[in-house]
Structure 1
């Protein structure tokens, strides 16, 4: 069974020793053993590191401090005779040159702190059990996990398989955001807090006027993480999404509230389970 673990249940599965007073000791041991023995193949979203890996109180300031720099690449001209045969054949007959130019955008977050030691310990415990990281929905300037040797991420394939994964992740995330859920909530809040037409939405995330707006921003970050986790889960075709979150903190406007869970199940076949549900499926 392939299972995506939400942040709120990952430690229960990977580090049950942290919960000696939890009354679900049998369930914790059962799920942990299933991961260890291979009966469960586990995953978690990289948003646990890129978004939720920042302390809740610091997220707005870190993202508000995002810098974006652009680098223009020199224009290059390639003669038809120097093009790969496949490309030359696709472009057809004739005497022509191909002109190539480009711009690289690079984002930085100078206020982003190192991962908290507890988050690092969670990563290490998950890795020891073979739990893999799910890529996020591709976004310009997005942060990710550096994994040059492929030890952490679940592979998305290459060529047509990779293109299909990206198309699927984008399609699901667009549907989530079209319903006013996921990443769209943070963008909308940022725009509402921005001071002028030229201000960027992310630079305004630390401009909350009072505690109520600050709580809104905090919930919107969590909603972003949930929405992207589900989009990746669906794009990878994983069997079960395990979470303790029923979206109560965001009333009826959460991708994980009961109504939207039903929509995701009906539209994409997402199978939701609580930790207890998951344990009950195991022998």
Structure 2
């Protein structure tokens, strides 16, 4: 059984001994045993290590500076004409990689069989410290499903919509939202950091649906968050009804085992 783990639970599930004061410690120990035995397979979205893996204080500057890698090729054909090619891809050197904290917990997760899920965006941010063999393979169907759920969450004012709203507030007419972030005052640094975390939540749910995972384990109840949260009650409702997403807390997951 594939279980997606949210940012707020995967580290403790991978090694409960590092979180002895967790209020759900007994449930986490049971989950960890199920991970070790292979009764369940823990799954993580790569955004945990890409966008969310950027230090909170650095997220604004990273998004302002990041640009895709553009490659232009030129080839002379037998008839003498010139064929030009243009490709767009991730600028992998832009990401700083995992810090020691993330690396340590990722090592725990991989040791108990965790796998990763990609976010199939054109020229999206990638982390060079993540190895291809740790990921589930993707397909056109996966990419389409991921995009569909992500767009619906954005349309509901959640996910990437939150950081786009901040960027658009400061963007000039006809300027993309991420360029608007460059003019955002320092008072927006905190909201931008939180918006990246919300973006990661939406990516996790979209990847969960696309990959066909069974349960989504989270402790994020999004109390008083309104619609600007992936885990807000109205969004949970249509995700459950339309896509069959089953949200569980660690204690509820342990009860399933």
Asked if Structure 1 and Structure 2 have the same fold, meaning a TM-score greater than 0.5 normalized by the shorter chain, the answer is yes
Per-residue CA deviation, residues 77-125 of structure 1 (Å, 9 max, x unaligned), is: 589xxxxxxxxxxxxxxxxxx9964212355487743422110011111
SS at match of 1:50: coil
**Pairwise CA distance, 1:27:** 1.2
SS of 1:205's equivalent? Answer: helix
- Which of 88, 105, 124 matches 1:122? 105
Counterpart mapping for 1:239-250 below 5 A = 239-248=214-223, 250=225
Q: How far off its partner does 1:163 sit?
A: 1.5
Task: Quote the Cα distance in structure 1 between the aligned partners of 2:52 and 2:129.
Answer: 19
Equivalent in the alignment of 2:198: 223
**Rounded Cα–Cα distance in structure 2 between residues aligned with 1:16 and 1:124:** 14
Work out whether residues 63 and 109 of structure 1, in 8 Å CA contact, stay in contact via their aligned partners in 2. no
- 2:151 aligned residue: 174
Call closer, same or farther: CA 1:10–1:41 in 2, change over 3 Å: same
Please state how far the C-alpha of 1:268 moved relative to its aligned partner.
0.3
How far has the Cα of 1:208 moved from its partner? 2.9
The correspondence of residues 77-88 of structure 1 with structure 2, limited to 5 A, is 77=77
**Cα-Cα RMSD:** 2.6
Query: How do residues 13-52 of structure 1 correspond to structure 2 at under 5 angstroms?
Result: 13-52=13-52
Give the number of the structure whose alpha-carbon radius of gyration is greater.
1
* More deviation, 251-260/147-156: 147-156
1:272–1:236 Cα change, 3 Å = same
Q: Which runs of 4+ in 1 moved over 6 A?
A: none
Deviation at 1:76, TM superposition (A): 5.8
**1:131 aligns with one of 109, 114, 123:** 114
Residues 95 and 126, structure 2, Cα contact 8 Å, conserved in 1 = no
Residue among 212, 223, 231 paired with 1:237: 212
| Residue correspondence of structure 1 range 25-104 to structure 2 within 5 A | 25-75=25-75, 77=77, 101-104=84-87
Give the alignment's TM-score, normalised by structure 1: 0.81
Give TM-score, length-normalised by structure 2.
0.89
Gaps of 5+ in 1: 80-97, 157-161
| Separation in 2, partners of 1:188, 1:23 | 36
Distance 1:147 1:65, change over 3 A: closer
Q: Which secondary structure does the structure 1 equivalent of 2:49 belong to?
A: helix
Q: Which residue pairs with 2:243 in the alignment?
A: 268
Q: Which runs of 5+ in 2 are unaligned?
A: none
Equivalent-residue separation in structure 2 for 1:193 and 1:110 (angstroms): 28
- What is the SS of the residue equivalent to 2:8? helix
* Displacement after TM superposition at 1:272 (Å): 0.4
